[in-house]
Amino acid sequence: MHLFSNVAVRRLAFLCLAVLASPAVAMAGDARVHQQLQCGPASLDVVVEGSGPTIVLLPSLGRDSLDYDPIAEGLVARGYQVLRPQPRGLGASRGPMDGITLADLADDVGCAIAQAGKAPAIVVGHAYGNWVARMLAARHPQAVRGVVVAAAAAKTYPKALSASIIRIADPKTSREDRLTELQATFFAPGNDAAVWLEGWHPEVRTSQRNASDATPKALWWSAGGKVPLLDLQAASDPFMPADRRQELREELGPRVSVVTIPGASHALLPEQPQQVVAAIADWAATLP
C-alpha cells in the first residue's frame, strides 16, 4: 500500500466528519461512557469521561487503553475530558489491520477528537502510542495542542528488549518466564509486575508494528515542527538510558520539556499513576 495514496480523499473525509459531528456529546455528568464512532473504514470504540479541555490517551504496543484507568480518573478529577480510542482490534474497535500505516492510526485518533472531543487536544502516547500521537500532530496540527511522549524509547536501545516484549506477549511463554521478563523489562524494582501479566494482544501488536515499519520516521519524528512536547520519562526505563534523556530536547529544541518520574520503568502507568497525572496536568496548565 502506498503510504499517501488517496490522501486528499482521506483528509476530506476527516474534515467532513468534523463538520458533521454533533457538537453535543451524550454524557451523564463525568461518568464513563463508550461511544462507537464511524471513522472512514474503521469503527472505533472510544471511552469518554469527564468535562473540560480534552486529553487523549493512547496505549502501548498491543495493549488496551484501559491500562490508563487510574490516569484517566486523575485527569478527570483535575478538570479534563478524557478520550481513549481503543486501537483497532481491541474492545469494540474494528477496521483494516493489514496494509495500514501510522497515518491510518493517527487519522483514527483525529476522527475521535473531531466527533467526541474538543480540538485542539492534548494527546498522550505511552511507548508505541507516542508514535501515533506525533503522527497525528504532523498530519492534523489543528487538532493537537500538545503531545506527551510517555516512556518513549531512545533512538537506539538493546535489541534484546524488543525480543523480550515478543516473549511476554507470546501465550506459549510460561507464566513464570513472562513475569521474570516483565520485571526486568517493564517494572522498576519493588513494583508489582504481575499487574501486566494479562492484556497482551499479539495480533494487534503485529498489525501496529507493521504499520510503523511501513511509515518513514521522518514523517512523524518532529511532530509537525511546532507543537509543544512533554518527554515524560521513567527513571529506571531500560529503553531510555540516563545518557539519552536529553536526546529529544537536543534534537527538537526548547519546545520539548523533560520530566523524569522516579520509581518507575517502561510500564510507568501502573507504577506511578499519581505522579504521571500530576506531571501531565501541571505541564498542560502551562500551554497557551
What integer pLDDT is reported at residue 19 of this predicted model?
34
CB 92 within 8 A of CB 173: no
Alpha-helical segments (H) within 153-270 = 159-169, 175-185, 202-213, 247-252
What integer pLDDT is reported at residue 29 of this predicted model?
55
What integer pLDDT is reported at residue 174 of this predicted model?
96
- pLDDT tens, N- to C-terminus, the chain (288 residues): 334 334 333 443 443 343 333 333 334 457 899 999 999 999 999 999 999 999 999 999 999 999 999 999 999 999 999 999 999 999 999 999 999 999 999 999 999 999 999 999 999 999 999 999 999 999 999 999 999 999 999 988 888 998 998 899 888 999 999 999 999 999 999 999 999 999 999 999 999 999 999 999 999 998 877 899 999 999 999 999 999 999 999 999 999 999 999 999 999 999 999 999 999 999 999 998
Residue 270 CA neighbour count, 13 Å, CB half:
20
Collapsing DSSP to helix, strand or coil, 160 comes out as helix
What integer pLDDT is reported at residue 97 of this predicted model?
98
Domain range summary for the chain, segments of one domain joined by +:
29-284
Residue length, the chain? 288
CATH topology assigned to domain 29-284? Rossmann fold (3.40.50)
In sequence order, the β-bridge partners of residue 20 are none
Read off the DSSP letter of residue 32. -
